[in-house]
Structure 1
């Protein structure tokens, strides 16, 4: 009698290596930002967080393009986001400003990192949910972790601009802990809040404005290369300014859905 052939356990598909490698690079970039912050190279510290945000946006697209999505990749992505956009920005801002108030500053840094992890945990808990009305309508709950990290470092961008303009006194005010700590707390609350925010991945452009949208994207890219810090300041202000409009639009969508569900359904005529 022939022995039954044992099948080898299925390994990790090769197509999942590329997106997971990008996620690991994002994690390395976020941690490298902390290393530059320890060396007081604040420009490179911020650049590393920006690179991590770009890699975080690319890895998901690559995974869907190669059909390499996996549960392992989702867990690795959440761990990378928690470190790159929660722990790393908190440590960078603590070393830059909050060390002047060691106790209160460290509490704010801890809250920012913990709130970022809580937001990611809430996101993971809703992955398998069948009904996600906000996602179906094209909205997110709270601001995403990369946007929170970029927004939390707004005082740093302003400080860089004051250095370039030769305004050290104004830069000294921007570096005060009593200004940076409340701003970090505000961004942390936005991350775990239930405010509906726009999801850029769900936006659909009309065919007649695609060329204009491409021109705007190119202009933003050129601005980031030539004048990165003023451009980031403008992007942060515009994004935060859109939050009230996104909350109002989603409230209108909720009312429309409630009215449609409450409306009586037409009954079939009797024969």
Structure 2
């Protein structure tokens, strides 16, 4: 026997706040990305980079909230993709262009367009995979995720802000780098996913120590920390790609 639930007419057009919360977080991240672009235009490069980092944290938080609150929806997924394109495709590209590539006589702009277009294509492909449930069931990413691609694309800026190397004298090298990162985002290379990560018990203590050190660097030498994380991620990408190549097609 079917049970008929009588709906209160007063609440028919109302949405629970907790169901709306993940979308509000997504919009907040989008605002951070837009503000990062403004900071880059004003020459406040360190602030612009930090805002992109905060947008990446927001991107992880909105998905977590949506799953925990059972508030996932197609609307939220599309909104998240649009925000990701702005925060991790447009904002990093413009920031790198302003800091490094303006003197390159429009040569660098071509690679910024490649980077942004690659991010857009990746997010579109992810939307299709989401509909096919591939993104949720796979234990590997295909290519570099958009937030990670943004962090890799900003590696030359992190190197400059940390005082390690200023690559403004070689804008063509920076242009090729950001173009390469764009290609990595749309590649079919299998890269690691947190679902597939396994930490040997012997390294648990070392991981805890490294976490404490990372938190310390976050408040003292944040740009050096970001350079280190980018290099570790690159090493893991190479290791994952070589491992997948040895295993062959699944």
Give the TM-score category using the shorter length: 0.7 to 0.9
Please give the residue correspondences for 1:44-83 in structure 2 after superposition, counting only pairs within 5 Å. 44-83=47-86
Q: Is the aligned partner of 1:106 residue 2:109?
A: yes
Q: How big is each residue's C-alpha offset from its partner over 1:203-239, in whole Å with a ceiling of 9 and x where there is no partner?
A: 3557886665444333322222221111111110110
Question: Which of 227, 231, 235 in structure 2 is aligned with 1:233?
Answer: 227
Question: Which of 163, 187, 196 in structure 1 is aligned with 2:190?
Answer: 196
Residue aligning to 1:178: 172
TM-score (norm: length of structure 1): 0.80
| Aligned-pair CA distance for 1:111 | 1.3
User: For 1:83 and 1:30, how far apart are their aligned partners in 2?
Assistant: 6
Q: 1:209 to 1:181 in 2, by over 3 A?
A: closer
Q: In the alignment, is the contact (CA less than 8 A) between 2:100 and 2:168 conserved in 1? A: no
Residue aligning to 2:3: none
Please give the residue correspondences for 1:133-144 in structure 2 after superposition, counting only pairs within 5 Å. 136-144=137-145
Please give the residue correspondences for 1:184-223 in structure 2 after superposition, counting only pairs within 5 Å. 184-203=178-197, 213-223=207-217
Residue aligning to 2:159: 158
Q: Is the aligned partner of 1:145 residue 2:118?
A: no
User: For 1:107 and 1:17, how far apart are their aligned partners in 2?
Assistant: 39
User: For 1:99 and 1:215, how far apart are their aligned partners in 2?
Assistant: 41
SS in 1 for 2:130: coil
Q: 1:10 to 1:70 in 2, by over 3 A?
A: farther
TM-score (norm: length of structure 2): 0.87
Q: How big is each residue's C-alpha offset from its partner over 1:65-103, in whole Å with a ceiling of 9 and x where there is no partner?
A: 111111111011000000000001111111111111242
Residue aligning to 1:263: none
Q: 1:116 to 1:59 in 2, by over 3 A?
A: same
User: For 1:144 and 1:185, how far apart are their aligned partners in 2?
Assistant: 15
Q: 1:14 to 1:207 in 2, by over 3 A?
A: farther
| Aligned-pair CA distance for 1:128 | 1.9
Structure 2: any 5+ residue segments left out of the alignment? Answer: 1-5
Q: 1:248 to 1:83 in 2, by over 3 A?
A: same
Q: How big is each residue's C-alpha offset from its partner over 1:86-141, in whole Å with a ceiling of 9 and x where there is no partner?
A: 001111111111111242122111111111000000000111215x3x86451100
Question: Which of 19, 22, 28 in structure 2 is aligned with 1:19?
Answer: 22
Q: In the alignment, is the contact (CA less than 8 A) between 1:119 and 1:191 conserved in 2? A: yes
Give me the CA root mean square deviation. 2.5
Question: Which of 45, 52, 66 in structure 2 is aligned with 1:42?
Answer: 45
Aligned residue-pair number = 243
Q: In the alignment, is the contact (CA less than 8 A) between 1:16 and 1:70 conserved in 2? A: no
Q: In the alignment, is the contact (CA less than 8 A) between 1:26 and 1:55 conserved in 2? A: yes
| Aligned-pair CA distance for 1:242 | 1.1
Q: In the alignment, is the contact (CA less than 8 A) between 1:159 and 1:175 conserved in 2? A: no
Structure 1: any 5+ residue segments left out of the alignment? Answer: 258-271
